[in-house]
């Protein structure tokens, strides 16, 4: 029995994620109070539902502090439980609420929109540590739906590696567990014929592989991740996000993320995300 929980800050895309799961065959429940999770799962199991997606929301009622205990109880009852925590940068959330003209659930006469967002972050801080955090700041709704389908395709009982490229000029991803800086490497952006390409294109790959320092950085990142993965697995981590950044997030970081993903694929479950490539 597969239970996928969706949580996170308001405006981060929880409704989009839940709809994507429903389209993928999950029985979807929106805004369930965490205190009702165990009872609801038991009732659904008795009714024959084997794949269930639940969107949790801190404003729906008490019980959030007991979420970890509820997840452990359900795992003991035979459920495969995953918790996907969606997050986004504050300025992105402000823009989304302004565009949709929705009221933030914690807005009030004495609390601005930014203050309401930060207040919700504080309330959810402990819950964030229970799941796999994913930054939706730079994702369109369509891209998030595609990523959700990739997420549910992996085996939740095994460690999954997410290699994520990004551009430092757009900020460090909120979901990164490990961050590596590739800005010191030769930059294809300054080569006229390479600038419009990406790190997945053969001419850019050939350019980067012509420099020994690129090979040295790849080797250093590979050996660091490989040597520490067993320790992360022993810590009961189901997901590890390795973020690699360069200035714009289109050439050097993309190349390294793709190459690292290819090196680890086959021994581990691997996902790849290129934030600045959409």
CATH code for the domain of 127: 3.40.50.300
pLDDT exceeds cutoff 60 at 63 = no
pLDDT digits (tens, 9 = 90+) for 229-276: 988 888 777 889 999 999 999 999 999 999 999 999 988 889 999 999
Domain boundary among 153, 187, 220: 153
3-state DSSP assignment of residue 84: strand
Residues 116, 168, single domain; the answer is: no
Please give the residue range of the domain that contains residue 216.
Answer: 160-277
Q: Are strands 2-8 and 51-56 parallel, antiparallel or unpaired?
A: parallel
pLDDT exceeds cutoff 60 at 48 = yes
Residues 46, 118, single domain; the answer is: yes
pLDDT exceeds cutoff 70 at 19 = yes
State the average pLDDT over residues 138-163.
Answer: 86
- % of residues, the chain, pLDDT over 90: 54
Determine the Cα–Cα distance for residues 70 and 147; give it in Å rounded to an integer. Answer: 26
* Strands ordered across the beta sheet of 132-135: 27-32, 51-56, 2-8, 80-87, 132-135
Determine the Cα–Cα distance for residues 98 and 5; give it in Å rounded to an integer. Answer: 27
Residues 127, 239, single domain; the answer is: no
Residues 140, 215, single domain; the answer is: no
Q: Are strands 160-167 and 132-135 parallel, antiparallel or unpaired?
A: unpaired
Asked which of 18-22, 62-66, 68-72, 119-123 is least confident by mean pLDDT, the reply is 62-66
Residues 140, 186, single domain; the answer is: no
pLDDT the model gives residue 204: 98
What's the mean pLDDT when you consider all of the chain? 90
pLDDT the model gives residue 276: 92
Domain boundary among 153, 182, 206: 153
pLDDT the model gives residue 190: 95
Question: How close are the terminal C-alpha atoms of the chain, in Å?
Answer: 33
pLDDT digits (tens, 9 = 90+) for 168-204: 999 999 889 999 999 999 999 999 999 999 999 999 9
Residues 93, 172, single domain; the answer is: no
pLDDT the model gives residue 59: 67
pLDDT exceeds cutoff 90 at 34 = no
Residues 193, 140, single domain; the answer is: no
Residues 39, 142, single domain; the answer is: yes
Number of domains composing the chain: 2
Residues 18, 139, single domain; the answer is: yes
The 3-class SS string of 199-250 reads: CCCHHHHHHHCCCHHHHHHHHHHHHHHHHHHHHHHHCCCCEEEEEEEECCCC
Residues 136, 56, single domain; the answer is: yes
pLDDT exceeds cutoff 70 at 60 = no
> For the chain, what's the residue count?
278
Residues 44, 148, single domain; the answer is: yes
Cβ(164)–Cβ(40) below 8 Å:
no
pLDDT the model gives residue 138: 83
Residues 101, 18, single domain; the answer is: yes
pLDDT the model gives residue 58: 64
pLDDT the model gives residue 162: 94
Domain boundary among 153, 179, 198: 153
């Amino acid at each position: 029995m597969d239970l996928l929980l969706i949580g996170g800050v308001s405006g981060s895309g929880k409704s989009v994620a839940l709809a994507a799961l429903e389209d993928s065959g999950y029985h979807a429940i929106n805004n369930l109070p965490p205190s009702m999770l165990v009872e609801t799962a038991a009732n659904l199991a008795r009714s024959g539902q084997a794949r269930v997606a639940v969107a949790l929301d801190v404003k729906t009622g008490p019980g959030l502090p007991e979420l970890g205990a509820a997840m452990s109880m359900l795992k003991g009852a035979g459920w495969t439980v995953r918790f996907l925590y969606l997050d986004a940068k504050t300025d992105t959330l402000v823009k989304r609420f302004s565009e949709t003209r929705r009221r933030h659930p914690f807005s009030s006469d004495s609390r601005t929109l930014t203050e309401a967002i930060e207040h919700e972050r504080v309330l959810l801080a402990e819950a964030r540590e229970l799941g796999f955090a994913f930054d939706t700041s730079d994702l369109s709704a369509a891209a998030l739906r595609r990523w959700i389908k990739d997420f549910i395709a992996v085996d939740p009982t095994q460690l999954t590696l997410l290699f994520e490229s990004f551009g430092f000029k757009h900020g460090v991803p909120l979901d990164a567990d490990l961050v590596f800086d590739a800005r010191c490497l030769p930059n294809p952006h300054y080569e006229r014929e390479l600038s419009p390409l990406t790190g997945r294109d053969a001419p850019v790959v050939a350019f980067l592989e012509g420099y020994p320092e690129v090979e040295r950085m790849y080797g250093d990142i590979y050996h660091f991740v490989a040597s520490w993965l067993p320790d992360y697995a022993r810590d009961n981590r189901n997901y590890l996000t390795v973020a690699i950044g360069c200035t714009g997030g289109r050439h050097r970081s993309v190349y390294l993320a793709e190459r690292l993903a290819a090196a680890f694929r086959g021994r581990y479950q691997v996902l790849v995300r290129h934030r600045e490539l959409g």
